[in-house]
Amino acid sequence: MNPIDALQATIELRIFEYLGGLMLESGSMDPALVDVITDILKVMTVSTFCLLIVILLIWLERKVIARMQDRVGPNRVGGKYGLGQTVADVLKLLTKEDIIPFGADSLTYNIAPLLIVMTALLMWAVMPFSSNAIGVDLNLGLFYVLSISSISVVSLLLAGWGSNNKYALLGAFRSVAQLVSYEVPMILSLLVPMLLARTMSMQSLITEQDIPYVLVVPLSALIFFISALAETGRSPFDLLEAESEIVAGFHVEYSGMKFAMFFLAEFVSTLFMASLFITIYWGGWRFYLLEWLSGGQLSTVELMVGGWNLGPLLGMVTFFVKTFFGYFLFIWARGTFPRVRIDQMMDFNWKFLVPLSAMLVAVVAIIDRIFLDVPPFAEFLLQLGGNLILGIITIEILRRVGRRRREAEEGSRQDGPAEATEHHDHHDHHEMGHAAAH
């Protein structure tokens, strides 16, 4: 084993292929077994990364929210910036007693936190971190993500029903209604980039984005972002755990590490949704500025420096910079918007997002079909124009609906005092007539 070759393989993100080659060179291992071992190493690496980065995400969210609220945030444990606060919280949860409520179904109660964490980790299998760093590049990668994410609904229902608590069950019902409802506009919004790229492979969706889809179809990106907020239970759609309404939601009876596993899954899922948003609409690991300045000669696929290909490493850095920007948008939404009511949330989805996303899919498909042979930049302008026109029409419809609603409310307020005055005058006349008779 040459240390220089190992270092080069690590920097070029080929370390697993390099280790597999060393195993094959030994001549004592079957190629199929080598593939299994390297796959296990990949799974362990990605899973460990996802579980450990949650410590940073919790600290980051606390500091950003504190800054938005004019507070300091964690600043005691682990130094001036409170870097050890999350570690201390984990140690506290590890030492807490694991309590199973009386009358709870032990199987569903115990399997729910495991199932939701497993779901959050499985989605990362098809996420492309770089041009050559991906677990499995499935042809139906996007369909795989949507299928796996639906399993979380089952785990929430198991947690609520197995706890033998009416508040937990009510929270589970809310969770199922919310997650199932907002999957519809999310799927419809994802149909738009699939139509444009003509693929469901996550890696191909990136390579086909010569212009980021957030510029081509901004309305689709906005719908996906709103749906992702609801799917992850983030504010303003954090009705899954509304303390003022249903105590703590579906995990009210959980304590210790089982309780922590639900929050672990929430942060891992939120980071995944941020990375999916970046992958589908912002080009993932592609460094567009480098490509545009070099006229397409340089890219994050191949960037040779001294015989070493630094492109994949630069692509991974680009991916994580974009991903943390997307995660910051999720934090920003949490610190900005208040929680909506359950009826407002459902009305907003079924009466606004679903029709809008369906119309958007139709508009994009029609433009793509009619102008099939136009140059890419012309198609970009046409799709952008279609999105803007649909957005303007939507805003105008919302303005008119809002005006009619305000007029109806003002009319009802004016009719109320008038009816009360009329009733009062009638009562006075009746009293005067009664007094005159006496």
For 19-44, what is the mean pLDDT?
85
DSSP for 116-158, please give it: HHHHHHHGGGG--SBTTB-S---TTHHHHHHHHHTHHHHHHHH
What are the structure tokens assigned to 60, written together? Answer: 């980051």
What are the structure tokens assigned to 320, written together? Answer: 């994580």
pLDDT the model gives residue 270? 93
The type of residue at 320 is: F
- pLDDT of 41 > 50? The answer is yes
Report how far apart the first and last C-alpha atoms of the chain are (Å, whole number): 118
What percent of the chain is predicted at pLDDT more than 70?
A: 92
For 159-177, what is the mean pLDDT?
85
Higher per-residue confidence, 242 vs 290: 290
Q: How far out from the chain centre does Cα 7 lie?
A: 35
- pLDDT of 438 > 70? The answer is no
Count the residues in the chain.
Answer: 438
- pLDDT of 435 > 50? The answer is no
Sign of CA dihedral 424, 425, 428, 430: negative
Q: 246 pLDDT band (50/70/90 cuts)?
A: low
Query: Which tens digits make up the pLDDT trace of 317-362?
Result: 999 999 999 999 999 998 888 888 888 888 999 989 999 999 999 9
pLDDT the model gives residue 419? 53
Average pLDDT, the chain: 86
**What is the spatial distance between Cα 317 and Cα 300, in angstroms, rounded to a whole number?**
10
Higher per-residue confidence, 416 vs 54: 54
pLDDT the model gives residue 408? 86
DSSP for 365-412, please give it: HHHHHHTTTS-HHHHHHHHHHHHHHHHHHHHHHHHHHHHHHHHHHHHH
Q: By the 8 A CB rule, do 285 and 316 touch?
A: yes
- Among 49-53, 77-81, 104-108, 160-164, where is mean pLDDT lowest? 77-81
The continuous run of DSSP H or E covering 308 comes out as strand 308-309
**What is the spatial distance between Cα 427 and Cα 425, in angstroms, rounded to a whole number?**
5
Helix 256-281, helix 166-197: angle, nearest 10: 20
Q: 241 pLDDT band (50/70/90 cuts)?
A: low
Q: 425 pLDDT band (50/70/90 cuts)?
A: low
pLDDT the model gives residue 272? 95
Q: By the 8 A CB rule, do 41 and 15 touch?
A: no
Query: Which tens digits make up the pLDDT trace of 113-162?
Result: 999 999 999 999 999 999 888 888 889 999 999 999 888 888 888 888 88
**What is the spatial distance between Cα 413 and Cα 424, in angstroms, rounded to a whole number?**
17
Q: By the 8 A CB rule, do 316 and 310 touch?
A: no
Q: Is 96 left (phi over 0), alpha (psi -120 to 50) or beta?
A: beta
Higher per-residue confidence, 75 vs 324: 324
Among all chains, which residue has been given the structure tokens 């579980």? 51
Q: By the 8 A CB rule, do 201 and 128 touch?
A: no
Query: Which tens digits make up the pLDDT trace of 373-410?
Result: 888 889 999 999 999 999 999 999 989 988 998 888 88
Angle at the Cα of 12 from the Cα atoms of 15 and 134, rounded to 5 degrees: 70
Nearest Cα neighbor of 242 from 341, 350, 343 is: 341
**What is the spatial distance between Cα 362 and Cα 354, in angstroms, rounded to a whole number?**
12
Residues whose CB is less than 8 angstroms from the CB of residue 382 and which lie 6 or more positions away in sequence, other chains included: 367, 371, 374
